[in-house]
Structure 1
């Protein structure tokens, strides 16, 4: 029996993924191929770089608890994952100085004609409803030179994300032994989306693979770079910019039939479900939901489309490869990066 498992993206609900692997170990269900996206790549790479003993999943859980997730009391009034989404303070300062000394920064700050039009409109057609008052306030702010300058510095500094992802490959190499990972008899894939070339790329724990590049710390971080949250990463010093592959394939399935024609079963762990979400109570919850909700629906689409392809594949090749969509008990699903949310998994 040869099995593959797809570990999906889902960031702060990775505890569900770890919990599922625990259940598989208890039932002695083993997998030969791991196809991973985003946070699933961290789980798949770390898990298969460790010795396959009884303590392996405990080490994975400890890694996420100690190095990724935030203690509840700290997170309570600072709900930001500063461990993962790290600011490059020196680099940001240099970029800010470049913005300050760029003449284009100041070219459109003062718009006298627009200000005169706004003032004349306000006098001749004053606001009469609440919506009109709010509109005039917003338009006045949009034309205020000081607010325009502040907005230039906040949104138009030359960077592609609010923060970085970790600080360097040293962090990854400290916890994931790539030598062990490449020696593993398990085949592990991770995906990343090449923004420059507009294509999905896969990386594998093998050197000299005929189709895919060898995975590395750079590839792992590139495949986990969340748009807006993190700057787009490069791999091995090349110019191409990457973001997480989960924005395209939250569950990376399609390649499995091409790369492993001898599979008997393909298991899927979908660690998020849009039917389980609740309305956000504040801005941080709204922001997290805005990032995660598309992944919830993309993963469903990935599974439906692949199941149709699998049916056709089985029919044409007279095979009976089974797709096992693991039914998860999500409980009270939320997208916070704190210890209690990790432990719920």
Structure 2
């Protein structure tokens, strides 16, 4: 049996389940069982076609599946954020049967300086668990290198991407506008460093621009971090006035895809791999993208041959240089990413993960 452990706070798990159902014969879907660590299943449209259970935060049911597992069973953990898994996987037997699919924040959580007792406890359990995992899956090769360096992982490694949650079609309506539409960041998480980007872009405030900022999901809406969202909105209006457009309400995927198609430039200033769900569609729709050149994502795309721009250089760019991108580079990026995310490639990649001997 192959057990998939997925959260329900993102659109990726729902799209992944749809993907496996679509190719159920190739994946022998009867071998797969899905365990959701959240209770909101409204994004999932294929649940009638799969076997699943719900084991929300702090619910002991998750332990039961590991306790009952046999030597040939496999657990694919789509994002290692649940503290219950830190405890379960500290048992080497269960860790050896498990594969961790890195999402980003679940890896970089351990790379941030923290001093609390809870953090130190989590990290001690995570280090023991990750070191013994049967395998690690990622999109960006540099993330596996970080996991090996930080946690001493010596198990198998796989490279597999998730199906995009958005329709990235050239059939989406093209805009004839003259205004330059710029998106800053991808969520309300403070790792987006929105305000730093605003200050860099403020030199273009007198130009014909709009600054869009997705803030409808992410850690910024949790507890005290809601204050961060307020600060971002306040600074956005202060620097750009009516040219600033905070996106505070969640959009359905179809509507969000149409919104992305209207954009011209994406600016990320994360210190880590993050926001691939925005990044890949933007490249597939031939948009200009800025990333920090120090991130694993930048190096990954550069190695693929994607024409990517360095966010650190924005303060030295005049507006025309910032806004412009050669048409041949746009087409090149579109072709590369479309090939990387082609479903036949994703099927091959995930079959390697599911059928691997650990």
TM-score scaled by structure 2? 0.25
TM-score scaled by structure 1? 0.26
Q: Which has the higher contact order (CA 8 A, sep 6+)?
A: 1
